[in-house]
Amino acid sequence: MSQRPQRFVLVGRDGVRAELADFGATLVALHLPDRAGHLADVVLGFDDLASYGAVDNPWFGAAVGRVANRITDGRFTLDGSTYQLPCNDGRHHLHGGVRGLSRRAWRVSTQTPHAVGFMTASADGDEGYPGTIEVGVTYTLDGEALTLEYVATTDRPTPINLSNHTYWNLAGHAAGPVLDHELWVDAEAFTPTDATVRAR
């Protein structure tokens, strides 16, 4: 990493605060109130910004892509051409590869007290993908609601599947394990895994 990550703070209502870093367009912290109004940081991550640039960072809070999730055997076919990507998760390509979008500094495109936008580019052939892309993500804190909006443009067909990779503890990051959390996903489909996929 050529430069130290920069921190950006968004301020909402009643002490709600989001903290972001330009490296990986990362959500570093989100301070929210519980039922009694006590604030806690519900985002898991590192204590110092420099650690977000570490090779073994498990994508804490980062914008991941070009393709979030795995591409089997790091290979796909598009418009009759087959592309081989680096395999950084056993035999699979994961979250954009060895140096995906989460592993680089993004530039600030917009900034207000309640929103910050980050932009980055990925050249044709970067991590094996076709096409040059421009990618942006804007974090907006409106009262107690944090919204993420992604945009991407490309000069030729290429797979794009952007996401955020935040780890959460809704009781606060210092509250211990999340084993009593319950999650309901109202989805019509899901992506199955097999024995070659390591648990993360």
CATH number at residue 88: 2.70.98.10
* pLDDT band at 3; cut points 50, 70, 90: low
29 is a domain residue = yes
Task: Indicate the SS3 state at residue 72.
Answer: helix
- With a threshold of 0.85, does the pTM exceed it? yes
The range of the structural domain enclosing residue 119 comes to 7-168
- Total structural domains in the chain? 1
Tally of CB atoms within 10 A around 60: 20
Q: Give the chain's mean pLDDT.
A: 93
Q: What does the DSSP 8-state code read for residue 148? A: E
What is the band of 50 on the pLDDT scale with cuts at 50, 70, 90? confident
Report the candidate in 114, 108, 74, 119 with the shortest Cα–Cα distance to residue 93.
74
Domain assignment present for residue 139? The answer is yes
pLDDT digits (tens, 9 = 90+) for 103-146: 999 999 999 999 999 999 999 999 999 999 999 999 999 999 99
